[in-house]
Amino acid sequence: RDRGRLGLEIEDPNNPDVGIEQPALQTYKEIIHDDYFYPAVKQGAEIALPAKLRWGGSEDATGIAIPLHFDKSPVFCEATFDEPLNLMMEINGKWFYKSPEAKTIDFMPAFFEKPLDGAADLTLKIFAPPASGENDPSQGEDWQTNYYTTINKLPNIRIRFAPIIEG
C-alpha cells in the first residue's frame, strides 16, 4: 500500500509508520534538486541582532544567512537555539524544520547523501514561518501576506571533523 507516499515509498507491512523506498524515489530526488527548481536567494546587507524576519511564503521570505567554514566533511554538525522559534533552515542543499519546542537540530543528514570533498564554505540559511501555519492579525496592516518573527540570538553551532576517541 502507498498511503499517500506518491508512489515513492510503499508501506512496510510490519510497521505502517515506516515507508520502504521505491526505485523512483532516487530519480525524484535528483529532479527536485536540479538548480531550475531552487528558489532564487538574494543576499542583502549585514544585519544586527535582534533581527526581524519576514515570511510571505516559501519563495517570498527574508531570512538570515550564516557563513560556515568546513575543513572537510563533518562527523558532527548541529545548531542549538535558546529561543522557542519556529524555523526552516537549509544547509548543503538539505532543508530542516525546527519546531518551537525543539532546542537542537542535527544537520548531519545534509552530509550523508552529499558529503564534502574537502574544505568548503557553506551558508546556513534560516527562515521563520508561522508556527501555527496561519498569519497573525495583530502583526500590522500587512498581516494577511506577511508574518514577522524577531530573532534575538544566533544559534550555537557545533561542528566536529574528527570523532572523539577515548582510551
Domain enclosing residue 71, as ranges: 45-160
What gap in Å lies between CA 108 and CA 130, rounded to an integer? Answer: 25
Q: Is residue 165 part of a domain?
A: no
Shared domain for 148 and 69, answered yes or no, is yes
Number of domains, the chain: 2
Nearest to 100 by CA among 73, 81, 120: 81
Radius of gyration for the chain, computed over Cα atoms and rounded to the nearest angstrom: 18
| Same domain (yes/no): 16, 70 | no
Asked whether residue 24 falls in the same domain as residue 63, the answer is no
Predicted local distance difference test score (pLDDT) of residue 167: 66
Looking at the structure, tell me whether residues 77 and 106 fall in a common domain: yes
| 24 and 94, same domain (yes or no) | no
Q: What is the pLDDT of residue 126?
A: 96
pLDDT score of 65: 94
State the average pLDDT over residues 12-41. Answer: 79
Assessment of whether the complete model's pTM goes beyond 0.95: no
| 3-state class (DSSP) for residue 28 | helix
Alpha-carbon dihedral angle through residues 47, 53, 57, 59, given to the nearest 10 degrees:
10
**118 pLDDT tier (thresholds 50, 70, 90):** very high
Residues 115 and 139 in one domain: yes
Q: Is 66 in the same domain as 23?
A: no
Q: Do 66 and 114 reside in the same domain of the chain?
A: yes
Residues 49 and 85 placed together within one structural domain of the fold: yes
> Can you read off the three cell numbers belonging to residue 159?
561542528
Please report whether residue 166 resides in a domain.
no
Amino acid 45: pLDDT: 82
The pLDDT tens digits for 40-84 are 777 888 888 999 999 998 888 999 999 999 999 999 999 999 999
> Do 25 and 83 fall within a single domain?
no
Q: Which three cell numbers stand for residue 166?
A: 577515548
Q: Does 21 share its domain with 50?
A: no
Residues 53 and 34 in one domain: no
| pLDDT tens per residue, range 81-114 | 999 999 999 999 899 999 999 999 999 999 998 9
One-letter amino acid at 97 equals: Y
First-last CA distance in the chain: 49
pLDDT (average), residues 138-146: 90
Residue 73, domain member (yes or no) = yes
Average of per-residue pLDDT values in the chain: 88
- Percentage of the chain with pLDDT > 90? 57
In a domain, 167, yes or no: no
Examine residue 78 and state whether it is found in any structural domain, yes or no: yes
Dihedral angle over CA of 154, 158, 159, 163, nearest 10: -170
